[in-house]
Amino acid sequence: MLPAIGLYLFLGSARGAELNGQLMLATTDRPDLIQDVAITLYEATEFAPIALATTKTGSDGLFTLETGRTTSSSILFLSAAVTDQVRLVALLGETLPHFATINEVTSVAASYAMAQFFRSGQIAGDAFRLRIAAMMGANIANPVTGAVSAVLSSPPNADQTNSLRLTRSLANLLNLCAVSPSYAKALLPLLADERGQVPADTTTGLANLARNPAVDPDLIYLLSSLRQGYAPALSQAPDQWTVTVKLNDTGRADIPFGGAANVDWDSYGYAWVANNVTQGTPNSTKYNVVLRPDGKPADGTGGEPVSPFDSGGLLGVGWGVSVDQKDRVWYGNFGWGSPKDLYYPSQTPGSSSGAGTGSVSTFDAADGSPLSEVGYFGPYRVQAIEPDDWGNIWMASLGDTDVDGGSGVWVFRDGNPDDSVSAVVDWEDAPFGVAPIPGQAAAWVTFSGGLAGEHQSSIAKYALTDTGELKQSFIAPVGDTLKVVATDFAGNAWFASQGTDSVFAYSPDGEQLGEFSGGGIDGPWGVTVDGEGNVWVANFGDLAIGNVFDRGRLSKLCGANPAACPPGLALGDPISPETGYTLPSEGAPVLLSNGDPLYGPGAPPSFAPMMRQTSVQIDAAGNVWTINNWKPRFDVDILSNPGGDGIVIFVGLATPPPRSH
């Protein structure tokens, strides 16, 4: 017997459905382009998409499709061959809408959101990943109206970033290609894929551009400016053609983001965010954030978690958040600011009772319910917290004075806080990053030498022995103020050295493979490895009096897989341009989610939507989430108002990593 929802879907499919829609172009001088055009409804699969219905447009571009499917376990999309080289697409998602529009804007959204699944010239991939990609596409274009989405046309996007106008410029580029086929022939060779293959049409070409956005920005801008069907568009050439979505809604206007630090995803695709401080102060917040796959705050619908949440002993979470294989969400409570008694709880290390900092909180990802009332004690002021392949939870316990006796590396074996093992180190070492090594009960650990690098930094490796002990097998002094470490498919360690503006790589046996810079690297903090083995770096900027880091950027380096590097580049060479991948303002000041200026009511305006970043992570669809941890102005932030605003998502930019859940 089918469950109720399955029966509904079965009967709905059996009855069939009618989809009405319209093919539209911004131009009005070529009505013939929207008449008698073949429109096909597809369902995406892991391989070639399945054509469900085909029809042709009338003289006004209107069409009607009869289909036996109203829903999909993957996604549905429409395709229209306007000319031989201009194909337009509209992503419909899992459910057939009552009406659909195909135009240049929906096609930009489709190419970027599906960039990682368009490599064969067709949308194809894992159904879970495709659904998340389609949700992100809806943040760019509304498939019913064909308009730029409310998300992109409203704060914190709109003219607080350049992505709204950049999307319009790309739509104008498609319009130019449709109206003047000679321009399409000139454009497509510029949009070759990673193998140098020229795309057959504009939809595939823009997907290539989404993955490699620094190609000929001046020339592409010049072409886009020849048509102005979508306005206002960009007024000057961008550094690169990245489309971003900025988000800063936690779910409550009275609790804005206060220095988000890191993010990880559960098996449902929900994003769990580590949040540091109460916005506008240097003091701990008790609230963390959980977002749906498209970045909207979870509100409890259908039993999902509710954002923001303050249970389970949360207090000033630092960088540490992760989701293990059992869909348990782990947070490390750091504790920032005053009162001073937040810093030094009186609980005995190892106990699982009490309240305050120096603890670890955990939650059930399914509904957000806490699995610990007040947190688990033992490790102090946890920064990185990561599960290994065996379900052990590894933690870097950063104590920054000799009072904090729990400084060191901690492991909850099999994710059990009552079965822990630790290796205590001198507090001056200040462990920060942890990266479990694939296929091993072992991890790389960075010793930062202090949050500001007061002491020598080191890279170390630890392993759980057969007798259950935690042993250090390697350590080497290196760099200055080490932060996050990540492992690639070969077990190499890649880690950020903030004080040297560089990233180091070490082989599994402890050989230094190199020190790398360029590609916009400036005060690197966060590091992650994509599904091809290339390395992404989040930049915090310089920690110096007078520094204003108002040009946030994301960097990309060649990893250990030569086949994934552009021709002529080798291990550690920058793939991103010298500027990094950036997000400029289009002239509007950055506002918090409650409408206040970034630095509070009455403060001078800031025009930096991308700020000092501590983390870069890649979701299941290849969207790159970069985290605004601090505001740009060091002199103000270090004393009183550090918490950055929200998260910037670069749509479709990176190869998705393997799924861990």
CB atoms within 10 A of CB 473: 11
What average pLDDT does this structure show over 221-235?
97
**Model confidence over 505-547: pLDDT tens digits?**
999 999 999 999 999 999 999 999 999 999 999 999 998 899 9
| pLDDT > 60? residue 400 | no
Contacts of 123 (CB under 8 A, 6+ apart): 42, 44, 49, 75, 77, 89, 110, 114, 117, 130
pLDDT bin (cut points 50, 70, 90) of residue 28 is confident
- Alpha-carbon distance of 619 to 464, in angstroms, equals 29
- Alpha-carbon distance of 372 to 390, in angstroms, equals 22
Provide the pLDDT for residue 63. Answer: 98
In this prediction the pTM is: 0.95
Smallest CA-to-CA distance from 418 within 352, 331, 346 is with 352
What average pLDDT does this structure show over 490-516?
97
pLDDT bin (cut points 50, 70, 90) of residue 405 is low
pLDDT bin (cut points 50, 70, 90) of residue 87 is very high
**Model confidence over 165-203: pLDDT tens digits?**
999 999 999 999 999 999 999 999 999 999 899 999 999
- Alpha-carbon distance of 497 to 202, in angstroms, equals 41
- Alpha-carbon distance of 410 to 426, in angstroms, equals 14
Q: What percent of the chain shows pLDDT beyond 90?
A: 85
pLDDT bin (cut points 50, 70, 90) of residue 11 is very low
Is the Cβ–Cβ distance between 473 and 457 less than 8 Å? no
- Which run of H or E residues covers position 176? helix 163-179
pLDDT bin (cut points 50, 70, 90) of residue 467 is confident
Smallest CA-to-CA distance from 485 within 406, 385, 413 is with 385
DSSP 70-129: SEEEEEEEEEEE-SSS-EEEEEEEEE--SEEEESHHHHHHHHHHTGGG-TTSS----HHH
**Model confidence over 411-429: pLDDT tens digits?**
999 999 999 999 999 888 9
Contacts of 261 (CB under 8 A, 6+ apart): 274, 275, 276, 317, 318, 319, 321, 614, 615, 627, 629
CB atoms within 10 A of CB 279: 25
Is the Cβ–Cβ distance between 485 and 476 less than 8 Å? no
Provide the pLDDT for residue 401. Answer: 56
- Alpha-carbon distance of 192 to 207, in angstroms, equals 10
Residue 317, amino acid: V
Structure tokens at 651: 């749509």
- Alpha-carbon distance of 95 to 114, in angstroms, equals 17
What average pLDDT does this structure show over 128-156?
98
**Model confidence over 97-127: pLDDT tens digits?**
999 999 999 999 999 999 999 998 999 999 9
**Model confidence over 606-660: pLDDT tens digits?**
999 999 999 999 999 999 999 999 999 999 888 889 999 999 999 999 999 998 7
| pLDDT > 90? residue 69 | no
Per the DSSP assignment, residues forming a β-bridge with 581 are: 554
- Alpha-carbon distance of 613 to 619, in angstroms, equals 17
- Alpha-carbon distance of 241 to 255, in angstroms, equals 33
| pLDDT > 60? residue 569 | yes
What average pLDDT does this structure show over 359-366?
96
Kindly give the interhelix angle for 202-211 and 163-179, rounded to the nearest 10 degrees: 150
Provide the pLDDT for residue 10. Answer: 34
Backbone angles phi, psi at 153, to 5 degrees: -95, 5
Place of tokens 């605003």: 645
What average pLDDT does this structure show over 31-51?
96
DSSP 282-321: SSBP--BEEE-TTSPBPB-GGG--BSSB--TT--SEEEEE
Is the Cβ–Cβ distance between 540 and 630 less than 8 Å? yes
CB atoms within 10 A of CB 608: 25
Sign of the alpha-carbon dihedral angle for 451, 453, 454, 459: positive
Provide the pLDDT for residue 9. Answer: 33
Provide the pLDDT for residue 468. Answer: 86
| pLDDT > 50? residue 340 | no
Provide the pLDDT for residue 524. Answer: 98
| pLDDT > 60? residue 463 | yes
